[in-house]
Amino acid sequence: MRPNQPSTFVSAIWPAATATSARFARLSVLAIAGTLALAVSAKAQIPFYPVPLTLQTLVVLLLGAAYGGRLAAATVALYLVEGALGLPVFAGTPEKGLGLAYMMGPTGGFLLGFLVAAAFVGFCAERGQDRSIGRLLVVMAAGHAIIFAFGLSWLAAIIGWDKAWMGGAEPFILATLVKTLLAAAVMPMLWKILPRRDA
């Protein structure tokens, strides 16, 4: 990444303002837009084998790549606060419960993993790792691994490792590979079509 290049994709299309009020408004709009994308992705399902493909981990990782570490983490944290307050923003809500009771259930570890993965991918993206498919593929694979590490550890504490793997990982391996490849391809493509702004 050259010194005159913006550190994140979102800063390239919407540069930060110098005035405090404008900077706060920009961050607020981006964070709220990100939580809306997460909420929609939590409900979206695409027919796939062996289980329907959900889009939430894809959106989590893309937010990290586009927003950078701090803004992506803040966005996911805001999303978790919305869910904790009882808004039906998570997958399976309100049918499977709302608020903290839902978050303490089987999917709680995955939700925590979203926060860590978004921050990790964003940290890497700020250092130019989102400009090439090869480097970003490694980052996105690591991001998904983080989500599964938190999710499966939490789930295993509830139902044991064997059941956690069979129910929380094995059916989703193929879909995760597809989402990892897709996420790794999207950001470099967006950077390439972005009009160049030479200093």
Residues 92, 111: Cα–Cα separation, whole Å = 13
Q: In this structure, is residue 3 part of a structural domain? A: no
Q: Model confidence at 7, in pLDDT bands (50, 70, 90)?
A: confident
Is residue 148 within 8 A of residue 113, CB to CB? The reply is yes
Total tally of structural domains belonging to the chain: 1
- Per-residue pLDDT band at 5 (split at 50, 70, 90): low
**Mean pLDDT of all residues in the chain?**
91
Domain limits for position 99: 17-193
Classify residue 49: in a domain, yes or no: yes
pLDDT tops 70 at residue 134 = yes
Mean pLDDT along residues 93-104: 92
* Residue 54 belongs to some domain of the structure: yes
- Tell me if residue 124 falls in helix, strand or coil: helix
Asked if residue 12 belongs to a domain, the reply is no
For residue 6, tell me if it sits in a domain: no
We report the CATH number of the domain holding residue 123 as 1.10.1760.20
pLDDT value of residue 53: 80
147 inside domain:
yes
**What does pTM read for this prediction?**
0.91
First-to-last C-alpha distance (Å) of the chain: 14
Q: Is residue 1 part of a domain?
A: no
Q: Is 52 among the domain residues?
A: yes
For residue range 30-56, list pLDDT tens digits in order. 999 999 999 999 998 888 876 778 899
Average pLDDT over residues 119-127: 96
For 46-106, give the DSSP string. E--SSSPEE-HHHHHHHHHHHH-HHHHHHHHHHHHHHHHTT-S-STTTTTT--HHHHHTST
